Amino acid sequence: MPQPATLLRQLFDVAVAAASPARCMPAPLSRLSDRKYIVVGAGKAAAAMAHEVSNRFPDKTRGMVIVPYGHAVDCGIDVVEASHPVPNEAGVAASRRLFDMVSDLSADDHVICLISGGGSSLLTLPAAGLTLADKQAVTTALLACGAPIEDINCVRKHLSAIKGGRLAAACVPASLTTLAISDVPGDDLSVIGSGPTVTDTSTAAEAMEVLERYDIHPPATVVRHLLLGQDDAEPLPPSDVHVVATAADALRTAQHLAESQGVETLMLGDVTGDARQLAEWHATLALRIAAGDGPVTPPCLILSGGETTVKVEGDGRGGRNSEYALQLMISVADHPAIAALACDTDGIDGSGDNAGCIVLPNSLQRCRDIGLDVVAAQAANDSYQLFAALDGLVVTGPTLTNVNDFRAILVGEQL
């Protein structure tokens, strides 16, 4: 078996590759007829997905996709970069242009919509009566309060003129095919990218309840808009919608690699919840396994995906995976048989430039040796700086895909 850090990084790399557009797009594209297409979309993988469409149908595509800054690739159609996760004016202008592009089509036209994680903030077209500043204020509050993505996107849809099925409505009477890379637990199409081509079953009243539950006080224009409840979606005509890559695909690929190395796998699948609480639970499980009292025996791997949340209370730098890794490091307390990796498959963990972090059996002791205050770092939500000092950051750059978090805990007899 390779060294723990080497194996953990290999597992992450193959998981990301399994969800890459180059890997997941050819099969669904092979089922489409050879004709001209209008290609639109948004998300971290949108340009790479569009590249695969253009390769499949050379000289037969036109359109535009919106990606976060740093995620553009040459894909045969226009690519516009905008801000993520808080929207900006570039996103509004691009979304308006994209919306207009599909708003005057005929029944002879066919639209391919490419959606992936990040699409919610990039498809930014405020509903009538709302402003970009309104959406920025609400988005910032939602991201800091620890709300799960389902709640965040419920609100986003009801403040938008393009999300929650409204893009699909604009495409009528053209034919529409949606290809999505899922970054949400359960792969709910109405949540991925806030479901721009899927009928929205949530209501403005539910969006208002989300804001109240997390004690968010939005601008008065937002309250008035939601209380009126006039934007609840109408059912959409049937369309062709496919999820082409999921967290399960990535996890299974990592499992196969681990088992080829003689490492048994305990697959937890998609899990959600507070990052620190989840890390404590996983640490307890790993310690039990190391003690010979678990559901599997060492050497083994605990694998999980999904998306955790963090309630931001400090002004440090980090993300949900580094928060998880820091708590795991504290909880396993340098057990000699436990190492772990927690990364976001998009290559960017929160406010850092890293995908996530690696925890080794001596990480906590190294913090003490170089004078790092672990408790203070955690209180300040400053996990990035701590792992940077440990040389424990995993840096990949944008991966051009996103099936959310990847967590692997390796338990050996002694690492």
Do residues 216 and 310 share a domain?
Answer: no
For residue 232, what pLDDT is reported? 61
* Average pLDDT over every residue of 76-89: 96
Using DSSP, state whether 117 is helix, strand or coil. coil
Do residues 404 and 340 share a domain?
Answer: yes
Using DSSP, state whether 265 is helix, strand or coil. strand
Whole-number mean pLDDT of the chain? 95
Do residues 30 and 89 share a domain?
Answer: yes
Please give the share of the chain, as a percent, with pLDDT higher than 70. Answer: 98
Least confident of 71-75, 183-187, 230-234, 236-240: 230-234
| 414 has pLDDT over 70 | no
For residue 235, what pLDDT is reported? 73
In terms of Cβ atoms closer than 10 Å to its own Cβ (0-12, 13-18, 19+), residue 222 is buried
For residue 238, what pLDDT is reported? 76
Least confident of 227-236, 253-262, 347-356: 227-236
Torsion-angle region of residue 400: left (phi > 0), alpha (psi -120 to 50) or beta? left
Rounded-to-integer distance, Cα 355 and Cα 16, Å = 11
Q: Judge contact between 72 and 81, C-beta under 8 A.
A: yes
* Average pLDDT over every residue of 10-38: 97
Count of positions (residues) in the chain = 415
pTM flag (> 0.85): yes
Listed residue (176, 208, 207) closest to 194, CA to CA: 207
Q: Judge contact between 169 and 234, C-beta under 8 A.
A: yes
CATH of the domain at 375: 3.40.1480.10
Q: What is the pLDDT of residues 279-337, one digit of tens each?
A: 999 999 999 999 999 999 999 999 999 999 999 999 999 999 999 999 999 999 999 99
Do residues 64 and 183 share a domain?
Answer: yes
DSSP designation for 400:
S
For residue 415, what pLDDT is reported? 60
Domain count, the chain: 2
* CA distances from residue 280 to 148, 265, 286 in whole angstroms, order as listed: 19, 19, 10
For residue 234, what pLDDT is reported? 66
Instruction: Name the residue range of residue 299's domain.
Output: 4-14+248-411
Do residues 131 and 111 share a domain?
Answer: yes
Nearest 5 degrees, angle CA 87-CA 189-CA 278? Answer: 75
- Other C-beta atoms closer than 10 Å to the C-beta of 146 total 18
> Which amino acid, residue 176?
L
Q: Is the dihedral of CA 217, 316, 393, 339 positive or negative?
A: negative
For residue 1, what pLDDT is reported? 66
Domain boundary, last residue among 245, 271, 296: 245
Residue written as token pair 């850090």: 5
Q: Judge contact between 332 and 366, C-beta under 8 A.
A: no
| 70 has pLDDT over 80 | yes
| 411 has pLDDT over 90 | yes
Q: What is the pLDDT of residues 135-148, one digit of tens each?
A: 999 999 999 998 99
Question: Which positions ≥6 away from 325 have C-beta within 8 Å?
Answer: 279, 340, 341, 342, 356, 357, 358, 359, 383, 387, 392
Q: How far is CA 92 from the centre of its chain?
A: 21
Q: What is the pLDDT of residues 324-341, one digit of tens each?
A: 999 999 999 999 999 999
Confidence category of residue 229, pLDDT binned at 50, 70, 90: confident
CATH of the domain at 114: 3.40.50.10180
